[in-house]
Each structure stands twice: as structure tokens, then as C-alpha cells.
Structure 1
Amino acid sequence: MRSPRLRLAALAAAPLLLLSACSTEGSDGDTADQTATTDDAAATSMAPTGDISELSVDTSGDEPQIQRDGEAFADSELPFVVGSTEVETVEEGDGDEVEADHEVQVRYVALNGADGEPFASTFETDETVTIDLNNELLFPAFLEQLPGRSVGETLLMTIPAEAGFGSNGNPQLEVGPQDTLVFYMEIVDSSAPLTEATGEAVEPEEGLPEVEADGENAATITIPEDAEEPSELVTQLLIEGEGAEVQAGQTIKVHYTGVKFSDGEVFDESYQRGEPTQFPIGVGNVIQGWDEGLVGQKVGSRVLLVIPAEQAYGEAPEDTEGATAPPAHELAGETLVFVVDILGAY
């Protein structure tokens, strides 16, 4: 939120682990560069040394252990390299079917085939991760292999280097450009993504800006004539959602409307763009009032935020004759009012 349009689209993100190689290569439409990267990865990939039939999973402990030929993966003959994406069902599920446009809640542990060691796991914190199958930057394996499966299903998946992080690898996760990825995954839940807030309506306190919202269009926000600008952040639930609480560091998906408290003028809203906006929350990428007001709210909620200038774009600069100061943000000095529908947190 560093411009009138908040620059939220530029902050769109997905879980680092689940992004494909092409998501870090070039810009939209840079097909030639992406193709070249894939070709380079394929040209330098190693010959296969095994396949998924050698793998099994031991779920008797606190955390699943992926094994190779019945022994600890790290103790097997390495590196483990596959030539194509392979998937094997460990246990069938009996829940709802995963659809191609769903958000899928999963638990997983991921190994690097080069050393057999896990480099990521949700089991350590007993949490789930949301895989948004509408995100075309995900590993192709997830986009292609998860639809049609059932909630409750567990599976093993192997992904060759060129279908994972590609020729760049992922230094942050210590995954090299030739490293096969191995996943054990549990499908915990699957549902169509929210398009508007849903849950229990909450009666707002008196004296706050009045809101009319249908969830399909920008909210109408009316500032009462006798309303006083608050000196501190005001966070008012309008609808309390039923989802998980938003955590600092997550990427949240929202629809929002923003107006100036001074005159009620809309200065930004997401509905005109035809899709929700995504951005990291609680890490200083947006104005302070959003970080403080949205962390801890439940997915599905509609939240009214009244944000004093010091927690938005700062106070208006003093007019000091002859002094040179950096240009202020055009919303500096303004108390801002937002209505935010929280549609997802990943």
C-alpha cells in the first residue's frame, strides 16, 4: 500500500516451496525465456537412478518418514533421480473430490533426492498449507495431479528437476538445479475459493462509518456528519468468518474498498479489476493499519478499518518556507476507511 492503488498486485505471492521454476523467470508473456530455461534444465538433468516404486512411507511416528527400499531415504544409494513426474496413492480418500479450481488444504513433507534429507515439512507445526489451484505458477505436478483426487487421500509424488525449480534450483531451500523433489502429501480438505465474506453478521458500534456491501461490488461507505476522526486504529468486524485466523507472514487474498474519512471519496477498490488482490500481511509490505487490523482475523470475515494518518501514509508535512522536503504521499494526512473481505490466507 505505497501508492493510491496500493501496489497490492505487485506483492502477489504463493508459498515459496510450491512455485514452479518459470515463476521466477522474466515477466508475463516472456515465453521464449521460460522455454529456454526449461530447455537448459533438461539439457543438464541427470539420468534417472530410480523410480517411485522404490518408495514407501512410515506413518507410525509423529512425522511421516519417506523410505527407499525399506530403509531411511538418506541411507540409500544417492542421488535419487527420476525422469518424469510420478504419483502413487498411499491411502485412498473418501471425502469430497478435488476440483480444478479448488483451494486444497494439505500437509506434506518434502525431500531433496540429492541427499535424501527433508527440506520442508508442515508436520513440525501440525499446520496445513493451502494450495490454490487457480494459481498457474504452482508446480505443474500439483495443477495436473491433484484435481480428481479425494479429501483424505495420501500420496507420494516425485518431481524431476526440470519440472520443479529448474536450472536455477532454489538456493534458499538448498535445492540444486539437478535435484529431484520427493513429496509425501495428505489432502486434508478441498473447497471452492471464497468470492465474498461469509459467516455471522456482527452489529457494529455506533458512530462508525456506515457500510453497505453485497460482496460483488465495491462497498458503499458513508461517513456520518457528526463522526469524529479516531486517534487510534479502529477495527470493527462486520461479518465474522469461519476460517483459520490470519497469521503474520502469510499471503492473504482480499477484496476491498477504500475511502477518505474527510470527504468519503473512494480512492481505491479491487472490484473494478475483476479479481481479488493478494499480498503478504504482517511483515511491513502494506500500511501499518492493515498489518495490525487484519492479522488475527478469520478467513471469511468482512472487516471495517478506520486508520489514522500516522498508521496509513503519515501526517501531512508542515509548510516550512524555504525548506526542501521529499514529496509527501498524496494521501498523507488523511484518515482512511477500508472495508475488507478476507477470502484466503496462505
Structure 2
Amino acid sequence: MPRRLTSVLSVSALAGALLLTGCGEEEATTPSSSISGVQVTGEAQKEPKVTVKAPVAVSRTESQVLTEGDGAAVTKDDLVTLQAILVNGKDGKVVTSTWKTGTVGLDLDDQNLFASFKSQIPGKKIGTRMVIASTPADAYGETGNQQLGITKDDPVIFVLDLVGATKVLDEAQGTAVAPKKGLPTVTMNAGKPATITPAKGVKAPTNTVVQPLVEGTGAAVKKGQTVRVAYTGALYRNGEVFDSSANRPEQPWFEFKLGEGQVIKGWDTGLEGQKVGSRVLLVIPPKDGYGEQGSGDKIKGTDTLVFAVDILAAY
């Protein structure tokens, strides 16, 4: 994989990978919740205080808009970014919050996402603060979440601030770009790794080469954004594929924060400024890849790497 650190948040376990935080006192500017036993107070765009009079009985999943945003309405296939506080409805304890760790992105089209999110978030406007009272089945389901102390019988209260939403592409979309001569060629194979063919008789470059193959129409990606990509990586010396997101059909994409060292240097520098929807050819020498130590059994310390990267979303 192109990453150096394991940092991808599983959308099927929103709270399980987050840090525990407390809730500070805020001015009570958020309207009170009409969901029985739940009180939310706090200023807009700041961490709210959530108080739950437990145990909360939730016979069906329901939600309430506390403050309505003025942005576009979220659709059922958006990737929505949000801040979230999770409370165990059985004992009223706040068990996770994203307010100290930053927003998370949830793909509402993901079949593994909580049913309570999939049913309650679509249609709400960006900028909205809302509360969801979820049945156990519509949250952690039959397994519960042992790490968080949530059993299969515990209802869950979510307080969400909807920060943004974007569409997620299935593949690169845009205008084809004629690559410079002497570069490896890329042939896309639906549902399979791309075929990468090295240029015959051409020495590997000493500096990273960035060549758009398709120029997307989306916004240019910036440092600090979370970028979702699909990719295939191959060795420059023989075109052997050593990794591809297509080999993981249950999640045929990869996410990372750009410019924070979560991936090899050639990715951080080569993808910055490229537009969402683009397909980018990266030819990366060892100094911008895995260095003299190489990686795994296939990548030697002298290997130049070739990646075909589709930028599917950024948030």
C-alpha cells in the first residue's frame, strides 16, 4: 500500500475508532430536544453539551433537527462530513466525540453504515445540528461494541453537526490528457487492477514525475484534506503489480490526509493541486517512495514505482 500509517476510519464503526472526550459548558443557544430524556445545549459550530436521562427507551429510530442549516440538502448517496457525539442510551454516558479529533466522512451509500444514519441524515441541510435516537438494531446491531461498552440491547443517541457533503465518483471523470512520450502506459480494466506497461529502453527518472491522464472538473485537492482514491501500483522495471485497491472489492478505495505523511512522499507531493475526477500517473523513485529499505517482498530498495491514481473525492 502507498501508506506509511494506518489511519483510515471505518465508516461501519464510526464511534469505535474515535477518542473519548468530555463536553464543556456552553451558552444554551441550541433549542432543547423533544426526544424524551435528551437535552442538547451549546453554541453553533462549537461542541455541544449532551445530557441524557437514562435509561432511554427507543422503540423506533427517530431524529429531530435542533438548528437547521442553510446549505444544500444531503442526498442518500453523498459522502457527508460531520461532527458527532455518541451517548449510550442505557446509562447516559458520553462515550465518543469527534470534536477533539476533527470531522469524519461517512459514505451514506455504504451498505455497512449504521441504518440510523442512512435513514435520518438524507434530506437534512448542511449546517444542521440534529439528534438521532437509534434502536440497537439500527446502530451497532447484534454484536454491540465491546470497546465502547455498548451491548446489543443498548439504544444509542447521536448528536450530529452536518459540516459538508460531496459526491463520490466511481472512477476518474474528465478530459483525457495526452501523456508525454517515454512514460509508462496505463490500461484500465473494469473491476480489476490497471495494466501498467513500462516504456522500453527508458531509464527510470531520478525525480518524481506527475502526469495527468484525465483532468477532472472538481476542486483541486489541498493539504490537510482527506482524499479518497482508487489506485494500482506497479514496478517500473517490469510492470508487475504489487498493490491495487481493485483487489479489495469490499472497499475498492483508499483514504488518507494529504500532506501529513500518511503516505509516501511521492503521493503527498504528486497529488497536491490535482483536481477531483482526475486520473494521475505517478512515477516515483526510491527517495520519494520506500527508500533504500524497500517494502515487503516485492519492492526493492532500488525500485522506482508507478501508480495510476483516480481521485474520487476530497473533503
Q: Does residue 144 of structure 2 align to residue 169 of structure 1?
A: yes
The change in CA–CA distance for 1:208 and 1:215 in structure 2 (over 3 A counts) is same
Is it true that 1:80 corresponds to 2:80 in the alignment? no
Letter in 2 for 1:97: A
How far apart, in 2, do the equivalents of 1:164 and 1:203 lie? 48
Q: Give TM-score scaled by structure 2 length.
A: 0.66
1:14 aligns with 2:11: yes
- Within 5 Å, which residues of 2 pair with 1:138-153? 138-153=113-128
Alignment of 1:222-241 (within 5 A): 222-223=198-199, 225-228=201-204, 230=206, 234=208, 236=210, 238=212
Please name the residue that 2:25 is paired with.
Answer: none
User: Pick from 284, 295, 300: which aligns with 1:306?
Assistant: 284
Whole-Å separation in 1 of the counterparts to 2:264 and 2:245: 18
CA RMSD of aligned residues (A): 4.6
1:290-345 CA-to-partner distances (Å, cap 9, x unmatched) read 544445755836361425498289669xxxxxxxxxxx835657543112223246
Q: How many residues align?
A: 277
Q: CA deviation at 1:156?
A: 0.9
| Partner Cα separation in structure 2 for residue 340 and residue 103 of structure 1 | 20
Matched, 1:97 2:73: yes
Higher helix share: 1
Tell me the distance in 1 between the aligned counterparts of 2:240 and 2:144: 47
* Structure 2 equivalent of residue 58 of structure 1: 41
Change (3 A) 1:191 1:279: closer
| Aligned pairs for 1:18-37 within 5 A | none
Moved more, 330-339 or 133-142: 330-339
Q: Kindly state the Cα deviation for residue 98 of structure 1 after the two structures are TM-superposed.
A: 1.8
1:20-61: CA deviations, max 9, x gaps?
Answer: xxxxxxxxxxxxxxxxxxxxxxxxxxxxxxx82443421238
Percent identical pairs in the alignment equals 29
Is contact 1:110-1:121 (8 Å) kept?
yes
**Structure 1 Cα separation of the partners of residues 36 and 57 of structure 2:** 13
Find the residue that maps to 2:253 and give its secondary structure.
strand
Instruction: Find the aligned partners of 1:200 and 1:156 in 2 and give their Cα distance.
Output: 42
Unaligned runs of at least 5 residues, structure 2: 3-7, 17-33
- Which residue does the alignment assign to 1:48? none
Q: Is the CA contact 1:122–1:128 (under 8 Å) kept in the aligned structure 2?
A: yes
Letter in 1 for 2:309: V
Give the residue type in structure 1 aligned to 2:14: L
User: Counterpart amino acid of 1:65?
Assistant: K
| One-letter amino acid of the structure 2 residue matched with residue 311 of structure 1 | Y
Q: Which whole-Å CA distance do the structure 2 matches of 1:273 and 1:293 have between them?
A: 23
1:120 aligns with 2:104: no
Amino acid at match of 1:161: P
* Cα distance change on mapping 1:90 and 1:244 into 2, 3 Å: farther
Measured at CA, do residues 15 and 165 of structure 1 come closer, stay the same or move farther in structure 2, by a change above 3 Å? closer
Match of 2:305 among 314, 330, 336: 336
In the superposition, relative to structure 1, how do residues 269 and 280 fare at CA in structure 2: closer, same or farther (>3 Å)?
closer
Give 1:228 deviation, angstroms. 3.4
Residues 218, 142 of structure 1: CA spacing in aligned structure 2 closer, same or farther, 3 A cutoff? Answer: same
Given that residues 237 and 303 in structure 2 are in contact (C-alpha distance below 8 angstroms), is that contact kept between their aligned partners in structure 1?
yes
Task: Tell me if structure 1 keeps the 8 A contact 2:185–2:199.
Answer: no
2:94 and 2:262 map into 1 onto residues whose CA distance is 38
For 2:9 and 2:97, the matched residues in 1 are separated by 23
* TM-score normalised by length of structure 1: 0.61
Deviations 1:105-160 (A, max 9, x none): 222222222332322222224x3211101210111011122222222332110112
Listed as ranges, the gaps of 5+ residues in structure 1 are 3-10, 20-50, 67-72, 283-287, 317-327
Q: Runs of 4 or more off by more than 6 Å in structure 1?
A: 198-204, 212-217, 271-276, 312-316
Q: In structure 2, which of residues 183, 186, 209 is the aligned counterpart of residue 209 of structure 1?
A: 183
